[in-house]
Copies of this chain bind each other. A is one copy, B any other.
Amino acid sequence: MKLKRAIISCYDKKGLIELGAALQKQDVEILSTAGTLKHLQENNIAVKDISEISERGEAFGGRIKSLSFGVSAGLLFDRVSDAQEAQNLGVKSIDLVVCNLYPFDQASQDDFVRWIDIGGPTMLRAASKNYEFVSVLCDPKNYANFIEELEKSGGTISLETRKHLMRKTFSYMADYDCQISTALDKWAGEDSLRLSFSNKKPLRYGENSHQKADYFESTSQLFMKNMQVHQGKELSYNNLLDVQAAFDAIRDLKNQACCIIKHCTPCGIAQSSSQVEAFKLAWASDPVSAFGSIVVFSSVVDKQTVEQFSKKFVEIIAAPSFSHEALELLRTQKNLRVITYDPNIKASKQEIRLIDGGALVQERDLESASKREWVTDCHPALDAGSSAGSRLVGRDDKQARGDNMGLSDSLLEFGLHCIRPMKSNAIALVRTLENGSFQLLGMGCGQPNRIHSVKLAVERATDGLTAEYQGHPSEQDAYIQHHLSRAVLISEAFFPFSDSIDVCHEAGIKTIVQPGGSMRDKQVIEACNQHGISMMFVGNRHFKH
């Protein structure tokens, strides 16, 4: 059926001239309202006032434009079974509605309700309901294809297209009403939360092969959307979770940073002026865990770095981009997935977790230390000869920064970056190398108690230092001792007991950073004093469950 009559009534006038001209070319009668009418007329499109069909003109200062029996009936009647009745009633068919609505993000609370459209949604919904005979356009993005089909067919639109446009319009209406409802709830102080995802993509399976799984895309423009898979198999459910963890871990780490992720857990992290060095150090954090891992870089990956991958089993390598030579070399490893991401896209500010019957919404944990206070007798501020007895070390007090103990501001920042993405209870042992690079030396996390995480961090660090040592076996222990004594142990939450301090002492750890705040802080500090350990309180806790 050839289109005979169209209503155009749009807030966003984009593309209407081209669309109007194309309709005119097919001899479609165009009816319109207020601003749209004027816009079309000024651009030499022949257009009539909607009152020709609505029988009534605009009323109440524009509150009513299209709402009428004539327009509703013209959209809704069945062109076959209701044809005779329509003729008797003098109802003219309307075969196309072009309509979009006021975007609320520009409205203030005061005039929000005034901008809610009643007539537009009625036309959009009526046209969609009668998609078997009527076309509906709610998005200027669809005009081009619509015009093409119209011209090719000589004035008709296929059922398939009408069905597609109908589905799109009901989705648009759902989004519109959700926006109204959440805004009203917010203003009433009884916030609601409506999340919308589309474009389902079935995944091979979920966390395990007996679990069916799908991925849905969010409508907002976020991190994952900006991810591109350059080679290798499609990402699995677990890959997607791991990649998210990798992006969370690398985010905000500047320079040449490298993180290695396994089962959503960072097991290797390093920062250096050289990318190859950063990768080598991150890998050395825990080579056993790094097997089958995801490696993510903060900067463009070059060929020299990719060469390091040759004999290592890695599932995914991700970076903002890769040099041409690097990509070429990667092509030889067919099973390795290569991903690029946009490092400029910030994480969403909110973190949403669904539990049975509800949603937990919290701000992301992006905080650093809220204070830097040495709480032990022995501490770098004293050693460095700053005013005796002062336990407060200012951010800019360079003399007192404690470089002599290996705890510079930048190492502390690096350590907090390491610990934040780890599951509680988390412990990180970090160090500064002679060339200024930072390395996660060992970590323990995901444990229901803190002491096991301390033991794990020490064990991993000892393994790493053992592998690193090249000298005579008789001096290996001394080497390990020396490096552990210069490393910094960071705990993401307070020590509930002093038992972990004893483990640190046995391992030869000399510097500990923790938030503080336990009812047994005094005992913990006392244990440090007994063992000659320096301890800094940093205030902020970094639980991650």
Q: Provided the pairs A77-B63, A82-B60, A541-B208 are in contact, do residues A170 and B180 lie with their beta carbons within 8 angstroms?
A: yes
Whether B223 and A356, one on each chain, are in contact in the complex, defined by CB atoms closer than 8 angstroms, is: yes
Whether B216 and A359, one on each chain, are in contact in the complex, defined by CB atoms closer than 8 angstroms, is: yes
Q: For the complex, what is the distance from the CA of A181 to the CA of B89, rounded to whole Å?
A: 32
What residues on B are CB-neighbors of A225 within 8 Å? 356-358
Q: Provided the pairs A356-B244, A448-B286 are in contact, do residues A85 and B69 lie with their beta carbons within 8 angstroms?
A: no
Q: For the complex, what is the distance from the CA of A360 to the CA of B264, rounded to whole Å?
A: 15
Interface check A118, CB cutoff 8 A:
yes
Interface check A56, CB cutoff 8 A:
yes
Interface check A125, CB cutoff 8 A:
yes
State which of B113, B293, B351 has its C-beta within 8 Å of the C-beta of A131.
B113
What residues on B are CB-neighbors of A288 within 8 Å? 449, 451
Interface check A300, CB cutoff 8 A:
no
Interface check A354, CB cutoff 8 A:
yes
Stretch of A134-142, A189-197, A521-529 with 4 or more beta carbons under 8 angstroms from chain B: A189-197
A-B pairs, 9 with minimum CB distance: A446-B446, A206-B362, A224-B357, A222-B357, A289-B448, A223-B356, A262-B448, A213-B362, A67-B72
Which residues of A pack against B, CB within 8 Å? Answer: 54-56, 59-61, 63-64, 67-69, 72-73, 76-78, 81-82, 85-86, 89, 113, 116, 118-119, 121-122, 125-126, 128-129, 131, 163, 166-167, 170-171, 173-174, 176-178, 180-182, 184-185, 188, 190-200, 203, 205-218, 220-226, 237-238, 240-242, 244, 247, 262-265, 267, 286, 288-289, 291-293, 347-348, 351-365, 367, 370, 423-425, 445-449, 451-452, 456, 459, 496, 540-545
Q: For the complex, what is the distance from the CA of A212 to the CA of B121, rounded to whole Å?
A: 37
A398 to chain B, nearest CB (A): 27
Q: For the complex, what is the distance from the CA of A451 to the CA of B289, rounded to whole Å?
A: 9
What residues on B are CB-neighbors of A59 within 8 Å? 69, 73, 77, 85, 89
State which of B205, B224, B451 has its C-beta within 8 Å of the C-beta of A356.
B224
Q: For the complex, what is the distance from the CA of A181 to the CA of B128, rounded to whole Å?
A: 11
Whether B211 and A364, one on each chain, are in contact in the complex, defined by CB atoms closer than 8 angstroms, is: yes
What residues on B are CB-neighbors of A78 within 8 Å? 60, 63
Whether A358 and B122, one on each chain, are in contact in the complex, defined by CB atoms closer than 8 angstroms, is: no
State which of B118, B121, B446, B496 has its C-beta within 8 Å of the C-beta of A423.
B446
What residues on B are CB-neighbors of A262 within 8 Å? 448-449
A117 to chain B, nearest CB (A): 9
